[in-house]
């Protein structure tokens, strides 16, 4: 049976959207998740919602307990994960306000716990196709039906943060064929893969990072 974990999820706890909502607190072998879990149903589909950066968005990217979050969703029976994320665009055609459904990632993080297999067992998880192609197609179809501009099968590069890129870095990432940039997809996506959960991201382009001449560089206020 399909059960969907929603990461991000601001506003989805609205009772007009989420039916039979219930908050639950859980602990994991990796500590506490970044927020309470909210369970319920959206249009008949069982869901579990978690706030990646905490209820008040007070946890910066390097401090997110990604392992606890993914573990908690798996323990609640989630089979699929849909994660929202803000991204900077590294391509002219991906304009602010456009949706992006990536199918590849580049890991440029430095300080995060990236695997569940780091103690008693060594496992090399296949990662050639880290995102779920079926979920990408479903999300793309929904965006098309709603008339929302979107781009699918793009590459997201995740940086450590909390600072934004320099212009030199932004141009380098473009040369690596990255299409959008954020601070949250990795290690979330590979941890979900290790737990055999189908994962897709709904990325919203908010800016052009800092590579585009004549464009205001990204700031927190954006």
Indicate which residues carry an active-site annotation. Answer: 207, 209
Determine how β-strand 150-159 pairs with β-strand 99-108: parallel
Which residues on neighbouring strands pair with residue 181, listed in sequence order? 88, 157
Determine which helix (DSSP H) or strand (DSSP E) holds 99, and give its type and residue range.
strand 99-108
Determine which helix (DSSP H) or strand (DSSP E) holds 57, and give its type and residue range.
none
How many residues does the structure list for the chain? 222
Backbone angle region of 74, left / alpha / beta, with phi > 0 → left and psi within -120 to 50 → alpha = alpha
Q: Can you list the alpha helix ranges (DSSP code H) found in the chain?
A: 66-75, 133-145, 167-175, 185-194
- Cβ atoms within 10 Å of 14's Cβ, excluding its own: 8
Determine how β-strand 150-159 pairs with β-strand 198-207: unpaired
Q: Can you list the alpha helix ranges (DSSP code H) found in 50-159?
A: 66-75, 133-145
- Cβ atoms within 10 Å of 5's Cβ, excluding its own: 27
């Amino acid at each position: 049976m399909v059960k969907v974990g929603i990461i991000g999820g601001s506003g989805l706890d609205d009772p007009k959207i989420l039916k039979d909502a219930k908050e639950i607190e859980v602990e994991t072998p990796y500590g506490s998740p970044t927020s309470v879990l909210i369970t319920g149903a959206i249009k008949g589909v069982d869901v579990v919602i978690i706030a990646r950066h905490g209820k008040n968005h007070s946890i910066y990217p390097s401090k997110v307990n990604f392992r606890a979050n993914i573990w908690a969703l798996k323990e609640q029976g989630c089979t699929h994960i849909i994660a929202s994320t803000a991204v900077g665009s590294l391509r002219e055609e991906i304009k602010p306000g456009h949706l992006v459904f990536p199918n590849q990632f580049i890991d440029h993080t430095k300080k995060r716990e990236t695997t569940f297999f780091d103690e008693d067992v060594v496992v090399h998880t296949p990662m050639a196709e880290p995102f779920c192609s079926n979920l990408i197609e479903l999300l793309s179809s929904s965006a098309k039906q709603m008339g929302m501009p979107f781009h699918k099968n793009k590459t997201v590069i995740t940086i450590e943060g909390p600072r934004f890129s320099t212009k030199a870095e932004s141009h380098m990432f473009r040369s690596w064929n990255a299409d959008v940039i954020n601070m949250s997809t990795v290690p979330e996506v590979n941890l979900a893969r290790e737990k055999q959960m189908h994962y897709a991201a709904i990325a919203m382009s908010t800016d052009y990072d800092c590579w585009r001449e004549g464009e205001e560089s990204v700031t927190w206020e954006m």
